A and B are shown apart, each in its own frame.
Chain A
Amino acid sequence: MSLGYRVGQGRTGGLAALVVPVLAMPLIVGALAVFVQAVPASSRDVGDDPRAVQLLRQSAEAGDHVSYSGTQYVSTWSALTQSGAATSAVVQVQHAAGGQTSISLHDRQAAILDGRTTSRWLAGDDPADLLLGAYTVRLVGADSVAGRSTDIVVAYRSDGSVAAKLWLDRETALPLRRESYTSDGYTLSASAFVTIAVGAAANCCKAGAGDGVGPAASYDDTGSMLRWDDIEQLREEGWHCPGSIGGGLDLYEARRVGDAIQLSYSDGVMTVSVFEQAGWLDPDQLDGYGTADYEGGVVYPRPGPPARLTWSSGGRVITVVAEAPLDAVRDLLKNLPPDPAATAEENKDGFLDRISRGAQRVGSWFNPFD
Protein backbone atom coordinates (compact mmCIF):
# COMPACT_ATOMS: atom_id res chain seq x y z
CA MET A 1 0.00 0.00 0.00
CA SER A 2 2.65 2.28 0.93
CA LEU A 3 4.54 1.45 -2.21
CA GLY A 4 1.46 2.00 -4.31
CA TYR A 5 1.02 5.37 -2.65
CA ARG A 6 4.55 6.27 -3.40
CA VAL A 7 4.13 5.09 -6.97
CA GLY A 8 1.00 7.14 -7.33
CA GLN A 9 2.76 10.16 -5.88
CA GLY A 10 5.58 9.52 -8.26
CA ARG A 11 3.20 9.60 -11.16
CA THR A 12 1.82 12.89 -10.00
CA GLY A 13 5.32 14.27 -9.60
CA GLY A 14 6.15 13.14 -13.08
CA LEU A 15 3.20 15.02 -14.52
CA ALA A 16 4.18 18.11 -12.61
CA ALA A 17 7.70 17.75 -13.91
CA LEU A 18 6.27 18.14 -17.39
CA VAL A 19 3.74 20.88 -16.69
CA VAL A 20 5.75 23.17 -14.43
CA PRO A 21 8.57 23.85 -16.92
CA VAL A 22 6.00 24.57 -19.60
CA LEU A 23 4.35 27.20 -17.41
CA ALA A 24 7.47 28.46 -15.68
CA MET A 25 9.65 29.02 -18.71
CA PRO A 26 7.58 31.88 -20.17
CA LEU A 27 7.37 33.47 -16.73
CA ILE A 28 11.11 33.29 -16.22
CA VAL A 29 11.81 34.59 -19.70
CA GLY A 30 9.33 37.44 -19.18
CA ALA A 31 10.79 38.36 -15.80
CA LEU A 32 14.29 38.39 -17.28
CA ALA A 33 13.13 40.59 -20.11
CA VAL A 34 11.54 43.05 -17.69
CA PHE A 35 14.58 43.04 -15.41
CA VAL A 36 17.04 43.54 -18.25
CA GLN A 37 14.93 46.35 -19.63
CA ALA A 38 14.67 48.02 -16.21
CA VAL A 39 18.43 48.25 -15.76
CA PRO A 40 19.42 51.66 -17.13
CA ALA A 41 22.63 52.73 -18.61
CA SER A 42 23.19 54.94 -15.57
CA SER A 43 24.87 53.79 -12.44
CA ARG A 44 21.97 54.10 -10.02
CA ASP A 45 21.33 50.39 -9.63
CA VAL A 46 24.94 49.39 -9.82
CA GLY A 47 25.66 50.64 -6.29
CA ASP A 48 28.69 52.40 -4.91
CA ASP A 49 32.04 51.67 -6.44
CA PRO A 50 34.16 50.38 -3.49
CA ARG A 51 37.22 52.11 -4.88
CA ALA A 52 35.35 55.41 -5.09
CA VAL A 53 34.05 55.00 -1.54
CA GLN A 54 37.58 54.38 -0.29
CA LEU A 55 38.93 57.41 -2.13
CA LEU A 56 36.18 59.65 -0.73
CA ARG A 57 36.77 58.50 2.85
CA GLN A 58 40.50 59.15 2.43
CA SER A 59 39.79 62.53 0.92
CA ALA A 60 37.45 63.54 3.75
CA GLU A 61 40.26 62.88 6.25
CA ALA A 62 43.05 64.34 4.12
CA GLY A 63 42.82 67.79 5.66
CA ASP A 64 43.65 66.31 9.05
CA HIS A 65 47.03 65.08 7.82
CA VAL A 66 48.08 67.28 4.95
CA SER A 67 49.09 70.93 4.85
CA TYR A 68 48.91 72.77 1.58
CA SER A 69 48.78 76.19 -0.01
CA GLY A 70 47.85 77.27 -3.48
CA THR A 71 45.86 79.37 -5.85
CA GLN A 72 42.31 78.37 -6.58
CA TYR A 73 39.57 79.74 -8.77
CA VAL A 74 36.01 79.54 -7.54
CA SER A 75 32.84 80.20 -9.51
CA THR A 76 29.28 79.95 -8.34
CA TRP A 77 25.93 80.38 -10.06
CA SER A 78 22.48 81.18 -8.71
CA ALA A 79 20.04 78.33 -8.30
CA LEU A 80 17.19 80.85 -8.33
CA THR A 81 17.72 82.45 -11.70
CA GLN A 82 19.68 79.64 -13.39
CA SER A 83 21.20 82.22 -15.69
CA GLY A 84 24.67 82.24 -17.13
CA ALA A 85 25.80 84.95 -14.72
CA ALA A 86 28.40 83.71 -12.30
CA THR A 87 30.31 85.11 -9.40
CA SER A 88 33.96 84.20 -9.70
CA ALA A 89 37.17 84.89 -7.90
CA VAL A 90 40.77 83.72 -7.64
CA VAL A 91 41.67 83.06 -4.04
CA GLN A 92 44.78 82.10 -2.12
CA VAL A 93 44.22 79.10 0.10
CA GLN A 94 46.41 78.00 2.98
CA HIS A 95 45.62 75.04 5.15
CA ALA A 96 47.42 73.67 8.18
CA ALA A 97 47.09 69.94 8.79
CA GLY A 98 44.34 69.29 11.32
CA GLY A 99 43.71 73.00 11.74
CA GLN A 100 42.22 75.98 10.06
CA THR A 101 41.99 77.11 6.48
CA SER A 102 42.81 80.67 5.46
CA ILE A 103 41.24 82.12 2.35
CA SER A 104 42.65 85.35 0.95
CA LEU A 105 41.24 87.45 -1.83
CA HIS A 106 43.40 90.04 -3.57
CA ASP A 107 46.18 89.47 -0.99
CA ARG A 108 43.72 90.22 1.78
CA GLN A 109 42.76 87.58 4.27
CA ALA A 110 39.04 87.11 3.86
CA ALA A 111 38.31 84.39 6.33
CA ILE A 112 39.71 81.72 8.54
CA LEU A 113 37.58 78.63 8.46
CA ASP A 114 37.62 76.03 11.18
CA GLY A 115 37.66 72.40 10.33
CA ARG A 116 35.02 69.93 11.35
CA THR A 117 36.92 69.07 14.53
CA THR A 118 35.89 72.35 16.15
CA SER A 119 32.25 71.92 15.22
CA ARG A 120 29.57 70.01 17.05
CA TRP A 121 28.99 67.61 14.19
CA LEU A 122 25.42 66.36 14.21
CA ALA A 123 25.46 64.09 11.16
CA GLY A 124 27.34 60.94 12.15
CA ASP A 125 31.02 60.21 12.64
CA ASP A 126 32.49 60.21 9.18
CA PRO A 127 32.21 63.45 7.18
CA ALA A 128 32.00 61.38 4.00
CA ASP A 129 28.80 59.71 5.23
CA LEU A 130 26.66 62.65 4.11
CA LEU A 131 27.76 62.28 0.51
CA LEU A 132 27.79 58.49 0.54
CA GLY A 133 24.32 58.39 2.08
CA ALA A 134 22.80 60.71 -0.49
CA TYR A 135 24.47 59.66 -3.73
CA THR A 136 25.82 56.70 -5.62
CA VAL A 137 29.51 57.19 -6.29
CA ARG A 138 31.66 55.78 -9.03
CA LEU A 139 35.25 56.08 -10.14
CA VAL A 140 35.00 57.15 -13.77
CA GLY A 141 38.52 57.96 -14.87
CA ALA A 142 41.72 59.93 -14.34
CA ASP A 143 42.88 63.43 -15.16
CA SER A 144 45.56 65.98 -14.34
CA VAL A 145 44.90 69.06 -12.20
CA ALA A 146 47.59 71.66 -11.48
CA GLY A 147 50.19 69.22 -12.73
CA ARG A 148 49.11 66.47 -10.34
CA SER A 149 47.50 63.13 -11.17
CA THR A 150 43.92 62.75 -9.97
CA ASP A 151 41.14 60.20 -9.95
CA ILE A 152 37.69 61.39 -10.98
CA VAL A 153 34.80 60.35 -8.75
CA VAL A 154 31.24 61.14 -9.82
CA ALA A 155 28.26 61.32 -7.43
CA TYR A 156 24.96 60.30 -9.06
CA ARG A 157 21.45 61.05 -7.89
CA SER A 158 18.84 58.31 -7.72
CA ASP A 159 17.45 59.51 -11.04
CA GLY A 160 20.83 58.96 -12.67
CA SER A 161 21.75 62.63 -13.03
CA VAL A 162 25.19 63.82 -12.02
CA ALA A 163 25.25 65.80 -8.77
CA ALA A 164 28.99 66.35 -8.46
CA LYS A 165 32.36 65.55 -9.95
CA LEU A 166 35.44 65.39 -7.76
CA TRP A 167 39.05 65.28 -8.87
CA LEU A 168 40.97 63.60 -5.99
CA ASP A 169 44.76 63.82 -5.77
CA ARG A 170 46.26 60.35 -6.08
CA GLU A 171 49.08 61.14 -3.66
CA THR A 172 47.22 62.99 -0.88
CA ALA A 173 43.53 62.35 -1.71
CA LEU A 174 42.93 66.12 -1.49
CA PRO A 175 40.08 67.32 -3.68
CA LEU A 176 41.81 69.50 -6.26
CA ARG A 177 38.84 70.26 -8.48
CA ARG A 178 35.11 70.18 -7.82
CA GLU A 179 31.95 70.79 -9.78
CA SER A 180 28.30 70.49 -8.72
CA TYR A 181 25.14 70.42 -10.82
CA THR A 182 21.38 70.51 -10.51
CA SER A 183 19.39 67.52 -11.73
CA ASP A 184 18.85 69.19 -15.10
CA GLY A 185 22.56 69.69 -15.66
CA TYR A 186 22.79 73.36 -14.62
CA THR A 187 26.14 74.12 -12.98
CA LEU A 188 25.89 75.41 -9.41
CA SER A 189 29.56 75.76 -8.52
CA ALA A 190 32.99 74.96 -9.85
CA SER A 191 36.46 75.29 -8.39
CA ALA A 192 39.94 74.08 -9.15
CA PHE A 193 43.48 74.63 -7.97
CA VAL A 194 45.63 76.38 -10.53
CA THR A 195 48.73 75.80 -8.45
CA ILE A 196 49.18 73.89 -5.24
CA ALA A 197 52.12 73.12 -2.97
CA VAL A 198 51.62 70.25 -0.57
CA GLY A 199 53.20 70.60 2.85
CA ALA A 200 53.57 74.37 2.69
CA ALA A 201 51.30 76.39 4.94
CA ALA A 202 53.72 77.90 7.40
CA ASN A 203 52.04 81.30 7.52
CA CYS A 204 48.53 79.98 7.72
CA CYS A 205 45.70 81.20 9.73
CA LYS A 206 46.76 84.09 11.88
CA ALA A 207 44.03 86.61 12.11
CA GLY A 208 45.06 89.73 10.29
CA ALA A 209 47.88 87.96 8.50
CA GLY A 210 49.13 88.98 5.10
CA ASP A 211 49.10 92.70 4.58
CA GLY A 212 47.00 93.24 7.65
CA VAL A 213 44.37 94.93 5.59
CA GLY A 214 40.92 94.64 6.99
CA PRO A 215 39.58 92.36 9.62
CA ALA A 216 39.66 88.68 9.01
CA ALA A 217 36.64 86.69 9.97
CA SER A 218 37.62 84.11 12.52
CA TYR A 219 35.08 81.70 13.90
CA ASP A 220 36.39 80.35 17.15
CA ASP A 221 32.98 80.30 18.77
CA THR A 222 32.41 76.74 19.83
CA GLY A 223 30.41 78.06 22.79
CA SER A 224 27.55 78.98 20.47
CA MET A 225 27.33 75.50 19.01
CA LEU A 226 24.15 73.56 19.75
CA ARG A 227 23.82 69.88 20.48
CA TRP A 228 20.79 67.68 19.87
CA ASP A 229 19.66 68.28 23.47
CA ASP A 230 19.73 72.01 22.86
CA ILE A 231 17.80 71.58 19.62
CA GLU A 232 15.10 69.55 21.37
CA GLN A 233 14.79 72.33 23.94
CA LEU A 234 14.50 74.92 21.20
CA ARG A 235 11.74 72.93 19.52
CA GLU A 236 9.80 72.89 22.78
CA GLU A 237 10.17 76.66 22.91
CA GLY A 238 8.60 77.03 19.48
CA TRP A 239 11.60 77.06 17.16
CA HIS A 240 11.16 74.84 14.13
CA CYS A 241 14.65 73.30 13.77
CA PRO A 242 13.81 70.55 11.24
CA GLY A 243 16.21 67.61 11.29
CA SER A 244 16.27 67.44 7.51
CA ILE A 245 14.88 69.35 4.57
CA GLY A 246 13.99 68.46 1.02
CA GLY A 247 16.45 67.01 -1.41
CA GLY A 248 17.93 64.71 1.23
CA LEU A 249 19.78 67.46 3.06
CA ASP A 250 20.43 66.60 6.72
CA LEU A 251 21.19 68.87 9.65
CA TYR A 252 24.91 68.68 10.41
CA GLU A 253 25.48 71.78 12.53
CA ALA A 254 23.42 74.22 14.60
CA ARG A 255 24.51 77.31 16.48
CA ARG A 256 23.34 80.63 17.83
CA VAL A 257 24.14 83.73 15.79
CA GLY A 258 23.06 86.73 17.80
CA ASP A 259 19.31 86.42 18.27
CA ALA A 260 19.06 83.89 15.46
CA ILE A 261 19.41 80.13 15.29
CA GLN A 262 21.50 78.92 12.37
CA LEU A 263 20.73 75.44 11.07
CA SER A 264 23.17 74.05 8.49
CA TYR A 265 22.07 71.30 6.12
CA SER A 266 24.01 69.36 3.53
CA ASP A 267 24.06 66.17 1.53
CA GLY A 268 27.82 66.31 1.17
CA VAL A 269 27.69 68.38 -2.01
CA MET A 270 24.85 70.89 -1.65
CA THR A 271 24.51 73.23 1.31
CA VAL A 272 21.62 75.21 2.77
CA SER A 273 21.65 77.37 5.88
CA VAL A 274 18.36 78.19 7.56
CA PHE A 275 18.24 81.07 10.03
CA GLU A 276 15.33 81.43 12.42
CA GLN A 277 14.57 84.66 14.28
CA ALA A 278 11.68 85.42 16.60
CA GLY A 279 9.42 88.15 15.29
CA TRP A 280 7.85 89.37 12.10
CA LEU A 281 9.54 90.37 8.90
CA ASP A 282 9.49 94.06 8.09
CA PRO A 283 9.44 94.13 4.28
CA ASP A 284 9.73 97.91 4.16
CA GLN A 285 13.31 97.68 5.36
CA LEU A 286 14.37 94.95 2.94
CA ASP A 287 16.70 96.31 0.31
CA GLY A 288 17.43 94.50 -2.93
CA TYR A 289 14.80 91.81 -2.55
CA GLY A 290 12.14 90.79 -5.02
CA THR A 291 8.66 89.61 -4.16
CA ALA A 292 7.17 86.23 -4.93
CA ASP A 293 3.77 84.81 -4.01
CA TYR A 294 3.62 81.36 -2.53
CA GLU A 295 0.23 79.82 -1.72
CA GLY A 296 -1.25 83.01 -0.35
CA GLY A 297 1.94 84.10 1.38
CA VAL A 298 4.80 86.32 0.32
CA VAL A 299 8.45 85.31 -0.04
CA TYR A 300 11.23 87.84 -0.57
CA PRO A 301 13.99 86.35 -2.74
CA ARG A 302 17.41 87.66 -3.65
CA PRO A 303 18.90 85.61 -6.47
CA GLY A 304 22.57 85.92 -5.56
CA PRO A 305 24.56 83.74 -5.88
CA PRO A 306 24.13 82.32 -3.37
CA ALA A 307 20.33 82.25 -3.53
CA ARG A 308 18.80 83.92 -0.50
CA LEU A 309 15.16 84.02 0.56
CA THR A 310 13.36 85.32 3.60
CA TRP A 311 9.78 85.20 4.84
CA SER A 312 7.64 85.24 7.99
CA SER A 313 6.06 82.05 9.22
CA GLY A 314 4.09 81.75 12.43
CA GLY A 315 5.98 84.26 14.53
CA ARG A 316 9.41 83.38 13.11
CA VAL A 317 11.40 85.00 10.37
CA ILE A 318 12.98 82.35 8.16
CA THR A 319 16.03 83.26 6.09
CA VAL A 320 17.58 80.74 3.73
CA VAL A 321 21.02 80.88 2.13
CA ALA A 322 21.16 78.12 -0.47
CA GLU A 323 23.92 76.70 -2.61
CA ALA A 324 21.68 73.91 -3.70
CA PRO A 325 18.82 73.15 -6.09
CA LEU A 326 15.56 74.72 -5.04
CA ASP A 327 13.98 71.41 -4.08
CA ALA A 328 15.25 71.95 -0.56
CA VAL A 329 13.73 75.42 -0.37
CA ARG A 330 10.40 74.23 -1.76
CA ASP A 331 10.18 71.58 0.91
CA LEU A 332 11.00 74.18 3.53
CA LEU A 333 8.31 76.49 2.20
CA LYS A 334 5.81 73.67 2.29
CA ASN A 335 6.53 72.92 5.94
CA LEU A 336 6.90 76.55 7.00
CA PRO A 337 4.39 78.38 4.78
CA PRO A 338 4.90 82.13 4.52
CA ASP A 339 2.38 84.48 6.08
CA PRO A 340 0.53 86.98 3.91
CA ALA A 341 2.27 90.32 3.92
CA ALA A 342 -0.78 92.10 5.34
CA THR A 343 -0.90 89.76 8.30
CA ALA A 344 2.60 90.56 9.33
CA GLU A 345 2.19 94.27 8.95
CA GLU A 346 -1.29 94.90 10.19
CA ASN A 347 -1.97 92.27 12.75
CA LYS A 348 1.38 92.10 14.38
CA ASP A 349 2.44 95.70 14.29
CA GLY A 350 -0.97 97.27 14.70
CA PHE A 351 -2.29 99.19 17.65
CA LEU A 352 -4.31 96.27 18.96
CA ASP A 353 -1.31 93.98 18.81
CA ARG A 354 0.76 96.50 20.71
CA ILE A 355 -1.94 96.70 23.38
CA SER A 356 -1.98 92.92 23.58
CA ARG A 357 1.79 92.77 23.97
CA GLY A 358 1.66 95.50 26.61
CA ALA A 359 -1.01 93.61 28.56
CA GLN A 360 1.09 90.46 28.39
CA ARG A 361 4.09 92.34 29.65
CA VAL A 362 2.16 93.85 32.57
CA GLY A 363 0.76 90.41 33.33
CA SER A 364 4.26 88.97 33.40
CA TRP A 365 5.20 91.47 36.12
CA PHE A 366 2.64 89.93 38.44
CA ASN A 367 3.18 86.34 37.39
CA PRO A 368 5.32 84.65 40.05
CA PHE A 369 6.06 81.76 37.68
CA ASP A 370 7.31 83.90 34.84
Chain B
Amino acid sequence: MKHLDERISDLVDDRLEHHERDRALVHLTVCAQCREAVELERDARNALRSLPAMAPSDKLVASLLALAEPGEPLPPAAPASAMQPAPVAAWRPRDSRPPSGPSGTRPSGRASRRVRTVRVVALGMCTTGAMLILLASLGGTGNPPGSPDTPVSVVPPLEQFTVEHARSTGGLPFVEPASLLVTTNSSTGDGW
Protein backbone atom coordinates (compact mmCIF):
# COMPACT_ATOMS: atom_id res chain seq x y z
CA MET B 1 0.00 0.00 0.00
CA LYS B 2 1.22 3.49 -0.74
CA HIS B 3 1.83 6.03 1.96
CA LEU B 4 -1.21 7.74 3.35
CA ASP B 5 -0.13 11.29 2.34
CA GLU B 6 -3.23 13.45 2.03
CA ARG B 7 -5.35 10.85 3.73
CA ILE B 8 -3.54 11.48 7.00
CA SER B 9 -5.73 14.52 7.69
CA ASP B 10 -8.87 12.55 6.96
CA LEU B 11 -7.69 9.76 9.20
CA VAL B 12 -6.93 12.07 12.09
CA ASP B 13 -10.20 13.93 11.59
CA ASP B 14 -12.03 10.60 11.30
CA ARG B 15 -13.40 11.39 7.86
CA LEU B 16 -12.46 8.15 6.13
CA GLU B 17 -14.92 5.48 5.21
CA HIS B 18 -14.89 2.49 7.45
CA HIS B 19 -12.95 0.16 5.17
CA GLU B 20 -10.53 2.90 4.17
CA ARG B 21 -9.92 3.64 7.80
CA ASP B 22 -9.16 -0.03 8.47
CA ARG B 23 -6.71 -0.18 5.60
CA ALA B 24 -5.01 3.00 6.80
CA LEU B 25 -4.64 1.60 10.30
CA VAL B 26 -3.17 -1.59 8.89
CA HIS B 27 -0.72 0.49 6.90
CA LEU B 28 0.33 2.36 10.03
CA THR B 29 1.35 -0.87 11.65
CA VAL B 30 4.04 -1.41 9.03
CA CYS B 31 4.97 2.15 8.03
CA ALA B 32 6.92 4.20 10.52
CA GLN B 33 6.95 7.24 8.22
CA CYS B 34 3.18 7.46 8.08
CA ARG B 35 2.91 6.70 11.75
CA GLU B 36 5.11 9.70 12.48
CA ALA B 37 3.10 11.87 10.14
CA VAL B 38 -0.13 10.83 11.86
CA GLU B 39 1.36 11.66 15.23
CA LEU B 40 2.32 15.12 14.03
CA GLU B 41 -1.14 15.71 12.58
CA ARG B 42 -2.77 14.51 15.75
CA ASP B 43 -0.56 16.79 17.92
CA ALA B 44 -1.45 19.77 15.77
CA ARG B 45 -5.13 18.93 16.02
CA ASN B 46 -4.94 18.58 19.77
CA ALA B 47 -3.14 21.88 19.98
CA LEU B 48 -5.92 23.55 18.04
CA ARG B 49 -8.57 21.98 20.18
CA SER B 50 -6.88 23.24 23.28
CA LEU B 51 -7.15 26.86 22.17
CA PRO B 52 -9.75 29.00 23.95
CA ALA B 53 -12.94 29.85 22.07
CA MET B 54 -12.58 32.93 19.97
CA ALA B 55 -15.50 34.95 18.71
CA PRO B 56 -14.96 36.61 15.36
CA SER B 57 -15.72 40.25 15.12
CA ASP B 58 -19.07 41.46 13.81
CA LYS B 59 -17.30 43.12 10.93
CA LEU B 60 -15.71 39.86 9.84
CA VAL B 61 -19.04 38.04 10.04
CA ALA B 62 -20.76 40.75 7.99
CA SER B 63 -18.01 40.64 5.37
CA LEU B 64 -18.23 36.89 5.06
CA LEU B 65 -22.01 37.00 4.68
CA ALA B 66 -21.67 39.69 2.04
CA LEU B 67 -19.24 37.48 0.11
CA ALA B 68 -21.63 34.55 0.33
CA GLU B 69 -24.54 36.43 -1.25
CA PRO B 70 -23.29 39.25 -3.42
CA GLY B 71 -25.97 41.71 -4.42
CA GLU B 72 -28.57 40.17 -2.20
CA PRO B 73 -29.90 41.82 0.89
CA LEU B 74 -28.47 40.51 4.11
CA PRO B 75 -30.62 38.14 6.06
CA PRO B 76 -32.39 39.60 9.07
CA ALA B 77 -30.28 39.80 12.16
CA ALA B 78 -30.37 36.69 14.23
CA PRO B 79 -30.69 36.65 17.98
CA ALA B 80 -27.50 37.24 19.86
CA SER B 81 -27.28 33.63 20.89
CA ALA B 82 -27.61 32.50 17.29
CA MET B 83 -25.03 35.02 16.18
CA GLN B 84 -22.46 33.42 18.41
CA PRO B 85 -20.36 31.25 16.10
CA ALA B 86 -19.31 27.86 17.13
CA PRO B 87 -15.75 27.66 18.38
CA VAL B 88 -13.33 26.04 15.98
CA ALA B 89 -12.31 23.51 18.55
CA ALA B 90 -15.95 22.43 18.97
CA TRP B 91 -16.09 21.15 15.41
CA ARG B 92 -16.36 17.40 15.19
CA PRO B 93 -16.02 15.33 12.09
CA ARG B 94 -18.97 13.25 11.20
CA ASP B 95 -18.77 9.60 11.95
CA SER B 96 -18.56 7.50 8.82
CA ARG B 97 -18.31 4.20 10.55
CA PRO B 98 -21.12 1.73 10.15
CA PRO B 99 -23.89 2.35 12.59
CA SER B 100 -24.20 0.09 15.55
CA GLY B 101 -26.81 -0.20 18.24
CA PRO B 102 -30.25 1.39 18.40
CA SER B 103 -29.02 4.83 17.44
CA GLY B 104 -27.27 3.50 14.36
CA THR B 105 -30.36 2.51 12.31
CA ARG B 106 -30.35 5.87 10.53
CA PRO B 107 -27.92 5.89 7.59
CA SER B 108 -25.23 8.45 7.41
CA GLY B 109 -25.63 11.61 5.24
CA ARG B 110 -23.42 10.43 2.39
CA ALA B 111 -25.01 7.03 2.26
CA SER B 112 -28.43 8.64 2.39
CA ARG B 113 -27.57 10.85 -0.54
CA ARG B 114 -26.28 7.88 -2.48
CA VAL B 115 -29.44 5.89 -1.86
CA ARG B 116 -31.54 8.88 -2.85
CA THR B 117 -29.53 9.30 -6.04
CA VAL B 118 -29.92 5.64 -6.92
CA ARG B 119 -33.63 5.84 -6.31
CA VAL B 120 -34.01 8.93 -8.50
CA VAL B 121 -31.98 7.36 -11.32
CA ALA B 122 -33.92 4.09 -11.10
CA LEU B 123 -37.23 5.93 -11.09
CA GLY B 124 -36.16 7.99 -14.09
CA MET B 125 -35.08 4.93 -16.01
CA CYS B 126 -38.33 3.15 -15.28
CA THR B 127 -40.37 6.17 -16.32
CA THR B 128 -38.39 6.59 -19.53
CA GLY B 129 -38.74 2.91 -20.37
CA ALA B 130 -42.45 3.01 -19.77
CA MET B 131 -42.78 6.05 -22.00
CA LEU B 132 -40.83 4.39 -24.81
CA ILE B 133 -42.93 1.24 -24.58
CA LEU B 134 -46.09 3.32 -24.65
CA LEU B 135 -44.91 5.24 -27.70
CA ALA B 136 -43.84 2.06 -29.45
CA SER B 137 -47.24 0.49 -28.84
CA LEU B 138 -48.93 3.59 -30.22
CA GLY B 139 -46.67 3.53 -33.25
CA GLY B 140 -47.17 -0.15 -33.95
CA THR B 141 -48.48 -1.64 -37.17
CA GLY B 142 -52.00 -0.97 -38.23
CA ASN B 143 -53.39 2.11 -39.82
CA PRO B 144 -54.91 4.41 -37.22
CA PRO B 145 -58.12 6.07 -38.22
CA GLY B 146 -57.67 9.52 -39.61
CA SER B 147 -54.06 9.05 -40.62
CA PRO B 148 -54.05 7.05 -43.84
CA ASP B 149 -50.56 8.24 -44.77
CA THR B 150 -48.85 6.74 -41.75
CA PRO B 151 -46.21 4.33 -43.08
CA VAL B 152 -47.26 0.76 -42.44
CA SER B 153 -46.27 -2.62 -43.72
CA VAL B 154 -48.45 -3.55 -46.66
CA VAL B 155 -48.89 -6.51 -48.97
CA PRO B 156 -50.36 -5.60 -52.37
CA PRO B 157 -53.54 -7.57 -53.20
CA LEU B 158 -52.15 -8.83 -56.47
CA GLU B 159 -55.21 -10.66 -57.77
CA GLN B 160 -57.45 -7.70 -57.10
CA PHE B 161 -54.98 -5.38 -58.79
CA THR B 162 -54.83 -7.67 -61.81
CA VAL B 163 -58.63 -7.64 -62.11
CA GLU B 164 -58.65 -3.88 -61.76
CA HIS B 165 -56.05 -3.65 -64.50
CA ALA B 166 -58.25 -5.76 -66.77
CA ARG B 167 -61.24 -3.59 -65.95
CA SER B 168 -59.36 -0.41 -66.82
CA THR B 169 -58.42 -1.78 -70.22
CA GLY B 170 -62.09 -2.47 -70.98
CA GLY B 171 -62.52 1.12 -72.13
CA LEU B 172 -59.75 0.92 -74.69
CA PRO B 173 -60.91 0.06 -78.20
CA PHE B 174 -57.83 -1.83 -79.41
CA VAL B 175 -56.73 -3.64 -76.24
CA GLU B 176 -57.68 -7.07 -74.96
CA PRO B 177 -58.56 -7.56 -71.30
CA ALA B 178 -56.31 -10.58 -71.38
CA SER B 179 -55.22 -10.23 -67.79
CA LEU B 180 -58.80 -10.89 -66.75
CA LEU B 181 -58.42 -14.45 -67.98
CA VAL B 182 -55.53 -15.03 -65.63
CA THR B 183 -57.51 -14.13 -62.56
CA THR B 184 -60.53 -16.28 -63.41
CA ASN B 185 -59.74 -19.70 -64.73
CA SER B 186 -57.34 -20.34 -67.53
CA SER B 187 -54.68 -22.69 -68.67
CA THR B 188 -51.05 -21.80 -68.65
CA GLY B 189 -48.70 -23.68 -70.84
CA ASP B 190 -47.32 -23.86 -74.30
CA GLY B 191 -50.23 -22.55 -76.25
CA TRP B 192 -53.53 -24.12 -75.34
A residues near B (Cβ < 8 Å) are: 56, 59-60, 62-63, 74-76, 84-89, 91, 101, 103, 105-106, 108, 110-111, 113-116, 118-119, 121, 127-128, 130-131, 164, 166, 175, 178, 189, 191, 217, 219, 237-238, 252-253, 255, 257-260, 262, 264, 266, 268-271, 273, 275, 277-282, 285-286, 302, 304-306, 308, 310, 315, 317, 319, 321, 323, 348-349, 351, 353-362, 364
Contact = CB atoms under 8 A, between A and B. Distances in A.
Given A111-B166, A238-B149, A257-B161, A85 B188 contact: yes
A280 B152 contact: yes
Given A105-B181, A268-B174, A321 B165 contact: yes
B149 A110 contact: no
Interface in B145-192: 147-158, 160-182, 184-192
Contacts of B151: 278-280, 315, 348, 353, 357
Given A319-B161, A361-B138, A76 B178 contact: yes
Contacts of B177: 103, 111, 113
A354 B140 contact: yes
Given A268-B174, A323-B178, A361 B147 contact: yes
B187 A89 contact: yes
B190 A84 contact: yes
Interface of B: 132, 134-141, 143-144, 147-158, 160-182, 184-192
5 contacts: A105-B184, A105-B186, A119-B171, A266-B175, A317-B154
Nearest to A352: B136
Contact of B190 (A85, A166, A319): A85
Contacts of A105: 181, 184-186
B173 A354 contact: no
Contacts of A349: 141, 153
B158 A269 contact: no
A306 B162 contact: yes
- In the complex, which of the residues A59, A115, A302, A354 has the most CB atoms of chain B within 10 Å of its own CB atom? A354
B135 A359 contact: yes
Contacts of A262: 161, 164-165, 168
- In the complex, which of the residues A86, A106, A189 has the most CB atoms of chain B within 10 Å of its own CB atom? A86
Nearest to B181: A89
Contacts of B160: 257-258
A321 B161 contact: yes
Contacts of B150: 278, 357, 360-361
B187 A115 contact: no
A149 to B, nearest CB: 19
Nearest to A60: B173
A219 B164 CA distance: 9
Nearest to A239: B149
